[in-house]
Amino acid sequence: MVEKIVGGIVVALLTGVGRLLWQNRRHLTLLRLLLTPFARARVSVAVLLRVHEEDHYVLFSSVNRPGAFGPPGGVVKYQESAKRFLERLGFEPEGRSREVMRHDLRGFLGALRVLGFARWLYKEVDRETSADCLRRELVEELGEVGHEELVPLAREVGFRSVRRVIDGPLKVPGEAYRQIRFFEVYDLVLDKPEATRLREALLALAADAEAGTVIGASRAEITRGRAGVNVVLPQSAFLAGEKRFREDLAPAS
């Protein structure tokens, strides 16, 4: 009798573990959060554009981190229709002063709610699509780096998924929370003359030492975090693979 009860418990546990693993098969690394169920987590969702010629990756100067360079791209926005679901999760948007950051998928959750957030995220409902986010950010950032002449090209291009990366959970020095960053990396789809012209123009700027706001960096430079005198932001590593090499730089206050 005891053996049957124990056997039933073991089967139930194995079934539960199997179901948990299957439900979260796209983000198994997040299961580590179950070890700290009462912790707080900071989440952010961003899309990056990879433009490169062999071992030469295009990076833009950062508005929030002066003197540093990273891939074009930015944070995905949620729609009004997502508010009720995010409120049920206990999502607390990160307070930022700039109006352009309104509705950014960047904020805080209880550790146990992150898995539900990740499952919702990958359904791609009630939020910007990755392509729409990347196109919006590319148009905005071309203006920020002083190359508005390329904006008409950016409005016409399409994108192809390269990889998804879950960065974390990581301990943040000096903070009480763990950080999880969801990245999606995309290439330009070179099916239109506009896409080819945009790519050629960005590569030319990255090769021009006088361009200033657009640089090129090799994998080795991305790993070191330096391209000449320029600081390379850690998320640049995801252009080439799924592993980061350096801690984040704090944004300028």
Token pair, residue 169, equals 């959970």
Residue 28 burial (10 A CB sphere; 0-12, 13-18, 19+): exposed
- Grade residue 91 by pLDDT with cuts at 50, 70 and 90: very high
What tens digit of pLDDT does each residue of 207-239 get?
987 878 999 999 999 999 999 889 999 999 999
Q: Three-state SS for 24? A: coil
**pLDDT reported for residue 11:** 39
Q: Work out the mean pLDDT of the chain and round it to a whole number.
A: 84
Domain ranges for the chain = 29-239
**pLDDT reported for residue 98:** 59
My answer on whether omega of the bond before 152 falls inside 30° of 0, hence cis, is no
**pLDDT reported for residue 35:** 55
Contact (CB, 8 A) for 90 and 111:
no
What is the β-pairing status of strands 92-93 and 178-189? unpaired
pLDDT of 21 above 70: no
Instruction: Measure the CA–CA gap between 120 and 124, rounded to whole angstroms.
Output: 7
Instruction: Measure the CA–CA gap between 23 and 122, rounded to whole angstroms.
Output: 12
Instruction: Measure the CA–CA gap between 52 and 217, rounded to whole angstroms.
Output: 9
Q: Name residues whose C-beta falls within 8 Å of residue 244's C-beta, 6 or more positions apart in sequence.
A: 167, 234, 235, 237, 238
What tens digit of pLDDT does each residue of 150-173 get?
999 999 999 999 999 998 888 877
Instruction: Measure the CA–CA gap between 104 and 98, rounded to whole angstroms.
Output: 11
What tens digit of pLDDT does each residue of 183-201 get?
999 999 999 999 999 999 9
**pLDDT reported for residue 17:** 36
